[in-house]
C-alpha cells in the first residue's frame, strides 16, 4: 500500500466503506515479507494481521498479535468504555455473522483510524482494549435472512 493513488488513510477508509456492498464483508491487511514487492504474502514468522468485517451498519475489527507467551493470539478490538453485555451481529459473509459487544462496533471512519495505526506501528492504540477470542469455539453463526436470496432460494 502506498500513497501513490490516494493517501493511505483515505484508501483504508474507502475499502472499509465498501463493506456490505457487492458481497464484500471483510477486509484484511498485513505486512508483507518483502516490503519492496507488491505481492503481499504474510510472513509466517510474525503471523500478525488486522481484519475487519461488517456493513454500513457497523464494523468490527480483529487483530492477530504476538502475546506475552510468544504465541500469536486473535483479539477483538473495542473501545475502553465498559460493555453493558449488549451484543450485535456483524456480517462476515452473505450467510454468516459474528456476535460482538457494543463497544466493539465501529463506523468505517473509526475502523480506518484503527487500521491506520496498525499500518504505521503493527499495534493497536493504547486507548483501545483487546478481548482475546477463543479459537477453539465457533466464532460465527448463521445470519437471519428475511427475504429470499435469488441465488440460493434460501428464506
Domains contained in the chain, number = 1
Q: Is 3 a domain residue?
A: no
Q: Is 89 a domain residue?
A: yes
- pTM value? 0.83
Q: Is 1 a domain residue?
A: no
Q: Is 24 a domain residue?
A: yes
Q: Which domain holds residue 117?
A: 8-134
How confident is the model over 126-152, as a mean pLDDT? 78
Provide DSSP, the chain. Answer: --SSSS-HHHHHHHHHHTTTSTT--EEEE--BS-TT-S---B-TTT--EEEEEEETTEEEEEEEEE-TTSSEEEEEEEESSPP-S-EEEEESSSSEEEEEEGGG-B-HHHHHHHHHHHHHHSS--TTEEEEE--TTS--EEEPP--S--TTT---
Q: What percent of the chain has pLDDT over 70?
A: 83
Q: What's the pLDDT tens digit per position in 48-100?
A: 999 999 998 899 999 999 888 888 999 999 999 887 889 999 999 988 999 99
Confidence class of residue 153 from pLDDT cuts 50, 70 and 90?
A: very low
Q: Is 154 a domain residue?
A: no
With a cut of 50, say whether residue 31 has pLDDT above it. Answer: yes
Amino acid at each position: 500500500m502506498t500513497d501513490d493513488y490516494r493517501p493511505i488513510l483515505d484508501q483504508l477508509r474507502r475499502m472499509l466503506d465498501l463493506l456490505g456492498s457487492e458481497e464484500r464483508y471483510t477486509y484484511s491487511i498485513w505486512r508483507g515479507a518483502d516490503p519492496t514487492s507488491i505481492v503481499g504474502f504474510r510472513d509466517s514468522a510474525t503471523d500478525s494481521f488486522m481484519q475487519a468485517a461488517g456493513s454500513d451498519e457497523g464494523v468490527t475489527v480483529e487483530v492477530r498479535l504476538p502475546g506475552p507467551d510468544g504465541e500469536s493470539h486473535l483479539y477483538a478490538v473495542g473501545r475502553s468504555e465498559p460493555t453493558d453485555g449488549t451484543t450485535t451481529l456483524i456480517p462476515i459473509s452473505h450467510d454468516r455473522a459474528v456476535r460482538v459487544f457494543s463497544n466493539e462496533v465501529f463506523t468505517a471512519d473509526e475502523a480506518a483510524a484503527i487500521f491506520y495505526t496498525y499500518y504505521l506501528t503493527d499495534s493497536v492504540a493504547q486507548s483501545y482494549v483487546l478481548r482475546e477470542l477463543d479459537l477453539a469455539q465457533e466464532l460465527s453463526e448463521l445470519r437471519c435472512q428475511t427475504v429470499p436470496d435469488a441465488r440460493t432460494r434460501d428464506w
